[in-house]
Structure 1
Amino acid sequence: MDDIERHAPAMGAFLHLRGNALSKGEPVALPLVQSSMYHLPGEPERFSNYGRVHNATWVALEHALEHLEGAPCRVFPSGMGAISAALFATLKAGQRLLIPGDGYYVTRLLSDRYLRRLGIEVVERPTAEFTTGGFAGLDVVFLETPSNPGLDLVDLAAVARAVRASGGITICDNTTMTPLGQRPLDLGVDMVVASDTKAMGGHSDLLMGHVATRDPDLLQAVDDWRRISGAIPGPHEAWLLHRGLETLDVRYDRMCTSAEILAERLAQHSAVKAIRFPGLPSDPSHNLARSQMRRFGFLMSLTLEDAGKAEQFINTCPLLRPATSFGGVHSSAERRIRWGDAVDPGFVRLSVGCEPVEELWQALNGALDTL
């Protein structure tokens, strides 16, 4: 835990990253640069030249993300844009990719529908059995921990060591935890991807993602992919994310603290057949969570009696938004089986927001009591 705390980003310094570099008369808030063309007489040299290649708002955002991740970052127009960049930048025909069979379903769709067709062998393993069979012969190992939506965990440090020893590279989707809750790069992972649409942006009003790595060759490959493919974010979205990051620390702390309180209470409710939350001492992943996570996160899963009871709970609780995605200031929930996840019909993914915890508990408890 001491090492985990020591590698945490300094959030006070983060809030003043821009301010401490300003000249007299410059705006404190980040300007929005919205231009596809730049004044460029003569040779381009190192100047901004075209909107697909460079944007000052992206640069400021990437500087902020670099502080949080402790590594250079590149931003993308969505979380899947970041995942796609990481995979297409590291794989080639004839190679083998390992992905979690119970992770985010769109990663599986990308791998099955596109990467397989390009001559890449895709291997799937459930998160709870991810190390079974070892990692020999695998070129890229894609991890997601906690898994979405089941919240199983993988030992990041152990997998990173084993994959490196076998000659492969590791990519970790850290969307559910953010760099404030879990730091895969510090644990030896080669590359991190995340959907900043979720808690990083935090206000459910943008789509963004990023890739972070300390390997200059991997960073260059991702940079080239973005420039050549055109998978670039809009400057307004980049500006919104930069603004959202300034409140990440207080939002994330509130969400995680509330989730710990609520999980203990929800676990005792008679309408809840099962609950998964890494912060519960009874959770099968609790000890691993304590060793590699700074916080236990704001996501939990509840299994109710059946699909009808799950829908009733979600739709009658006044402080829950029935919506896909997660990580916003508003608590939200959904039945994940409707997207094809291999879960119980009564399985509910619950994202705890920033509402006052006692008010939120009264709403959740009241909705459960009616089932």
Structure 2
Amino acid sequence: MNAPLGDGTRCVHAGQVPSAPGAAVPPQPVLAAQYHLSDDPTDDFYGRAGNPTWRALESAIGELDGGTCLVYASGMAAVSSVLRVLLKPGDTVVLPSDGYYLARSYVREHMNGLVVREVPTAGEWTADTVAGARLVLLETPSNPGLDVCDIAAIAGLAHAAGALVAVDNTTVTPLGQRPLELGADITLASDTKALAGHSDIVLGHVTTADPDLAARLRSERTASGAVPGPFEVWLAHRGLGTLDLRLARQAENAAALYEALREHPGVRSVRWPGSPLDPAHPVASRQMRRFGGVVTFELESAAAVAGFLAASRLVSSATSFGGLHSSADRRARWGDPVPEGLVRFSCGCEDTRDLVADVLTALGA
């Protein structure tokens, strides 16, 4: 029996068609908006309904996630599509009170008639928490606090209550966590972040093991027009090939930075689920395959964060994460309910020694 392929091999070869003499290596993007019509209804006919470049990336991500994948124009396009397909006025939806703020504001400002129940990611999850819900949306590790919840346990509670479970898996990607294997019905992500990994596109995806739900989502995507451009999709597929390598270096940097900041006098509340000292680690170590490159920590004030960023040579001030370059974002500026000095730090692929030295020097300045 052949041994299972490793993460690096799967990333490099995922979604690739069999090689053929004279064919491009790897396949190039199909940029057409329209196609020559045929009598076969499965053939491509218009760019909003389908594209071979989409299907290549969907095959790749679906293989890593363990289900049928659909790509979207952004992570929020993916989230909002799931919400629109599954929820109707009068339904109850459970959202993370400490997750990505735009998911909560979208539900409250753009979806009328829903009963919204907000629960902290690391809060107490019981049958009462999910009672009467139609959908439970989790984000674990949470953004930006990096708290973790037990996906399998919550899925059991939710399914017993008749609810579906969707997990935002943006922070750690399919290599770090496979929510469908843990009992979730849907996994979704902003692929703008670590999956594409080069800070040059906006993209998202939804994956489910339920073929009927996948068909409903595909139909809604075509009708709503929440579709990505084929060039952006191709760039994401190209970036996916190095995901294993990038995650390994980013996690190495996160581990070193966590240790360097943990005892620093100007820093408090350092979080990284990969450390045995982190309160999220016991659950994270059971359900996560990798711990990612995002670290959060708190400085004394917004001014302290500004001074730190101004003094750094390697760290950019940016509000995304998961890219090659290390970046930091003071999350309170966007309205997150966090302290003014809380920093979400995205470790890039710089040499570990250089990154840690630069951060410590900037903090000292």
Is TM more than 0.5 here? yes
1:12 aligns with 2:9: yes
Which stretches in structure 1 are left out of the alignment for 5+ residues? 1-5
CA contact (8 A) 2:250 2:293 kept: yes
Aligned with residue 24 of structure 2, among 18, 24, 27: 27
Name the amino acid aligned to 1:22: S
Partner of residue 339, structure 2:
344
> In the aligned structure 2, how far is the partner of 1:7 from the partner of 1:311?
47
> In the aligned structure 1, how far is the partner of 2:219 from the partner of 2:291?
35
Compute the displacement of 1:280 (Å). Answer: 2.2
> In the aligned structure 2, how far is the partner of 1:74 from the partner of 1:16?
19
Aligned with residue 39 of structure 1, among 36, 47, 51: 36
Cα 1:26–1:161 change in 2 (3 A) is: same
Name the amino acid aligned to 2:196: G
Instruction: Show structure 1 runs of 4+ deviating over 4 A.
Output: 6-10, 17-20
1:313 aligns with 2:308: yes
Aligned with residue 122 of structure 1, among 116, 119, 131: 116
Compute the displacement of 1:322 (Å). Answer: 0.5
Compute the displacement of 1:309 (Å). Answer: 0.8
1:180 aligns with 2:166: no
> In the aligned structure 2, how far is the partner of 1:248 from the partner of 1:8?
15
Question: How do 1:211-226 residues align onto structure 2 when only pairs under 5 Å count?
Answer: 211-226=206-221
Partner of residue 148, structure 2:
153
CA contact (8 A) 1:9 1:69 kept: no
Compute the displacement of 1:24 (Å). Answer: 2.0
Compute the displacement of 1:13 (Å). Answer: 4.1
CA contact (8 A) 1:299 1:351 kept: yes
Compute the displacement of 1:103 (Å). Answer: 0.6
Cα 1:240–1:122 change in 2 (3 A) is: same
C-alpha offsets along residues 296-330 of structure 1, whole Å, 9 cap, x if unaligned? 21111111111111111122111100011111100
Compute the displacement of 1:281 (Å). Answer: 2.2
Partner of residue 191, structure 1:
186
CA contact (8 A) 1:9 1:68 kept: no
Q: What CA RMSD, in Å, does the superposition of the two structures yield over aligned residues?
A: 1.6
> In the aligned structure 1, how far is the partner of 2:301 from the partner of 2:20?
60
1:52 aligns with 2:48: yes
C-alpha offsets along residues 32-54 of structure 1, whole Å, 9 cap, x if unaligned? 1111111115x343211111111
Name the amino acid aligned to 1:303: E
Partner of residue 70, structure 1:
66
Which stretches in structure 2 are left out of the alignment for 5+ residues? none
Cα 1:17–1:204 change in 2 (3 A) is: closer
C-alpha offsets along residues 94-114 of structure 1, whole Å, 9 cap, x if unaligned? 211010111101101111101
> In the aligned structure 2, how far is the partner of 1:7 from the partner of 1:134?
39
Q: Percent identity of the aligned residues?
A: 46
Partner of residue 303, structure 1:
298
Question: How do 1:219-238 residues align onto structure 2 when only pairs under 5 Å count?
Answer: 219-238=214-233
1:209 aligns with 2:204: yes
Partner of residue 140, structure 1:
135
Cα 1:29–1:339 change in 2 (3 A) is: same
CA contact (8 A) 2:14 2:61 kept: no
Q: Give the match's secondary structure for 2:33.
A: coil
Name the amino acid aligned to 2:122: A
Partner of residue 157, structure 2:
162
C-alpha offsets along residues 154-175 of structure 1, whole Å, 9 cap, x if unaligned? 1101001110111110000000
State the aligned residue count.
362
Partner of residue 3, structure 1:
none
Partner of residue 282, structure 1:
277
Compute the displacement of 1:16 (Å). Answer: 2.9
Partner of residue 93, structure 1:
89
> In the aligned structure 1, how far is the partner of 2:77 from the partner of 2:8?
27
Compute the displacement of 1:9 (Å). Answer: 6.3
Compute the displacement of 1:64 (Å). Answer: 1.1
C-alpha offsets along residues 242-292 of structure 1, whole Å, 9 cap, x if unaligned? 100011110111101211121011101111122111122221111111111
Name the amino acid aligned to 1:126: P
Cα 1:172–1:96 change in 2 (3 A) is: same
> In the aligned structure 2, how far is the partner of 1:208 from the partner of 1:20?
22
> In the aligned structure 2, how far is the partner of 1:94 from the partner of 1:217?
23
Deviates most, 9-18 or 57-66: 9-18
